Amino acid sequence: MLGAFANAFRTPDLRKKLLFVLGIVILFRLGSQVPAPGVDVGNVQQCFTQATESGGIYSLINTFSGGALLQLTIFALGIMPYITASIILQLLVVVIPRLEALKKEGQAGQTKITQYTRYLTLALAVLQGTGIVALARSNQLLQGCQLDLLYDDDVITALIMVITLTAGTAIIMWLGELITERGIGNGMSILIFTQVVATFPATLWQLRQTKGWWIFVATIVVGFAIIAAVIFIEQAQRRIPVQYARRMVGRKMFGGSSTYIPLKVNQAGIIPVIFASSLLYLPALIVQFNQGSDNPPAWVQWVAVHFVRGDHPLYMAVFFLLILFFTYFYVSITFNPEEVADNMKKYGGFIPGIRAGKPTEQYLNYVLSRITLPGALYLGIIALIPLVALSLVNANQNFPFGGTSLLIMVGVALDTVKQVESQLQQRNYEGFLR
């Protein structure tokens, strides 16, 4: 592997791409440390540790922002508005015929959808930025904090902060697109990876300080075992063989080749975990807005006990079931067996032993429904790891080895390594994965 790294930096154009990505990442992390205008940095730092330990309704967004959200920096919103906008557009493509037609137009249609995603990202950034600034003005952003987070809570300061946070999201989008065009890998994924990894060392060291060396070492050992299992599942796929018949077009013979349809065990990726987490933040949000009440309703108290901290068995069970549901839902809208079967039939392809057309569609549905179950169970178990750790050893809710953080780190790292490896193999070098 060290030889592969040396070969990567020995190749001029590949070295230039890697250094460009590194420069963008450094710039991105610097922006995540610059406070937004009007923020009382001293008071924010005093409240930050307590808020991250107790979790809170914005802990997922804080993870995606590399801790920048709860420190109210110019990149506080991070990449979360873009993720949300992308998911919404993916769902709307299935529902709205106009967007579905754009998707089928190829590169031109995809460019148009990307433009819609940018506009929606900015709209969501304005919405989220307004909510965060409103919570900061009322001292409800950082739980248990009684200090003023802003120097001045007038409307002008709030407006400047919202504009700054929205501009920060726009800059992050631009940096991600620069990495995609001039670097290696998907730019947005690399920026998400950077923000998640940024909180990793501090979380581990905090675990060592609070729980001691034995828990720390045990966590590292268990973590490596979980990473190995995640890599194994992420690489696993069911390959359905496809044979193309020979056909004559003019004077040339086409077809006669064989290939396969790769159906991944984790076909849905990390999206179901994000869906389920976002849905379960709604009860916590209700409790957050009722904290100022002297006598909250009984149902609000029940929600506060069962659905806020995350270590309650009922919360874990609902979270697990939501992940199962959203996995099947997302796979059903992103992989269309009818469309795949029609395309195969159009180009003379068939699955050996299966007739083209409707029987092929039924076979793909059969295989997909069964391969999705282990993928859904896998996502649910990985997502529950930090909650189980929270319950057993009273760990931080941002427990490093598990949940969204681990899935993002492993998935993006594997994808980036594969892209570097493909570029090395084009130059007759051996890659990382031998």
String of DSSP letters for 54-105: H--TTHHHHHHTTT-TTTTBTTTTTTHHHHHHHHHHHHHHHH-HHHHHHHHT
Whether residue 416 lies inside any domain: the answer is no
Tell me, yes or no, whether 261 and 143 share the same domain: no
Determine the structural domain holding residue 324 and report its residue range.
Answer: 200-401
Q: Does residue 300 carry a pLDDT above 90? A: no
Tell me, yes or no, whether 250 and 101 share the same domain: no
Kindly state the percentage of the chain with pLDDT values over 70.
Answer: 79
Tell me, yes or no, whether 215 and 344 share the same domain: yes
Task: Note the pLDDT of residue 400.
Answer: 58
218-230: average pLDDT = 83
Task: Note the pLDDT of residue 126.
Answer: 92
Tell me, yes or no, whether 210 and 258 share the same domain: yes
> Which of the residue ranges 163-167, 172-176, 417-421 would you say has the lowest mean pLDDT?
417-421
Whether residue 148 lies inside any domain: the answer is yes
3-class secondary structure, 255: coil
Task: Note the pLDDT of residue 35.
Answer: 83
Q: Does residue 364 carry a pLDDT above 80? A: yes
Tell me, yes or no, whether 298 and 168 share the same domain: no
Task: Note the pLDDT of residue 408.
Answer: 80
What are the tens digits of pLDDT across the range 236-271?
A: 888 888 887 766 666 666 656 778 888 888 888 888
Whether residue 413 lies inside any domain: the answer is no
3-class secondary structure, 205: helix
418-427: average pLDDT = 77
Tell me, yes or no, whether 258 and 171 share the same domain: no
Whether residue 62 lies inside any domain: the answer is yes
Whether residue 423 lies inside any domain: the answer is no
Tell me, yes or no, whether 190 and 246 share the same domain: no
Whether residue 410 lies inside any domain: the answer is no
Helices and strands in the chain, H and E counts: 17, 5
The pLDDT-based confidence of 120 (bands split at 50, 70, 90) is very high
Whether residue 406 lies inside any domain: the answer is no
49-76: average pLDDT = 62
| Most confident residue range from 253-257, 289-293, 403-407 | 403-407
Whether residue 422 lies inside any domain: the answer is no
Look at the chain and report how many structural domains it folds into.
Answer: 2
Tell me, yes or no, whether 130 and 235 share the same domain: no
- Is there a contact between 172 and 25 (Cβ–Cβ < 8 Å)? no
Tell me, yes or no, whether 178 and 273 share the same domain: no
- Is there a contact between 336 and 330 (Cβ–Cβ < 8 Å)? no
Task: Note the pLDDT of residue 60.
Answer: 58
Predicted TM-score (pTM) of this structure:
0.77
What are the tens digits of pLDDT across the range 11-35?
A: 788 888 888 989 998 998 888 888 8
288-299: average pLDDT = 66
Tell me, yes or no, whether 133 and 57 share the same domain: yes
Tell me, yes or no, whether 371 and 292 share the same domain: yes
Q: Does residue 63 carry a pLDDT above 60? A: yes
- Cα 100 to Cα 107, 112, 210, 399: the distances in Å are 13, 12, 52, 39
The pLDDT-based confidence of 431 (bands split at 50, 70, 90) is low
Task: Note the pLDDT of residue 44.
Answer: 74
Give the C-alpha separation, 154 to 161, whole Å: 11
Tell me, yes or no, whether 131 and 260 share the same domain: no
- Is there a contact between 136 and 35 (Cβ–Cβ < 8 Å)? no
Task: Note the pLDDT of residue 114.
Answer: 87
What are the tens digits of pLDDT across the range 124-169?
A: 999 988 888 887 787 776 666 666 777 777 888 889 989 999 999 9
CATH number of domain containing 347: 1.10.3370.10
With residue 237 as reference, give the H or E element that holds it: strand 237-244
Average per-residue pLDDT for the chain: 79
Q: Does residue 45 carry a pLDDT above 60? A: yes
